[in-house]
Structure 1
Amino acid sequence: MPDPSIKDEKTYEALRDEGASKEKAARIANAAARDGRSTVGERGGEAGNYEDMTKDQLYERAQRVGIDGRSDMSKDELITALRNH
């Protein structure tokens, strides 16, 4: 049964198949339904290159998005967590 909070099921399922978390897939799918897929695609990539950020910068970003366990993570683990959030 489709989730009524997901506005673009096709996009949601494609993102989940690619390995996106439920939260991330829902966020992108709903934005695509609201603003159009091409508009959402143009907005992507504004996060910058995580490898160029310091561990403190990554930690702050992880804190803003609510990643649990961030205080015990290495820089590489923070990058992975942010990319998969």
Structure 2
Amino acid sequence: MPTLTERYIAATTASLPAESQQDVRAELGVSIADAVEARIEQGEDPAAAERAVLTELGDPVVLAAGYADRPLHLIGPRYYLTW
């Protein structure tokens, strides 16, 4: 059964182009592991630390859009400058 982190990374990379998925998967995995480890060193429960780190990262779809440099709106500032 996949861990929360594995499921989060899979959800994040699913909508990315194939050529960037592996890089993002590796970068995100290291970043999450480091943040979880830091929380554990401060005395937090490992499961709670993992959940807190993933919650702070936010919605995986929004994170993926940031990695892909893709806007999350159909109509916005590009067409309507006063948006």
TM class by shorter chain equals 0.3 to 0.5
TM-score normalized by the length of structure 2? 0.32
TM-score normalized by the length of structure 1? 0.32
Higher relative contact order by CA 8 Å / sep ≥ 6: 1 or 2? 2
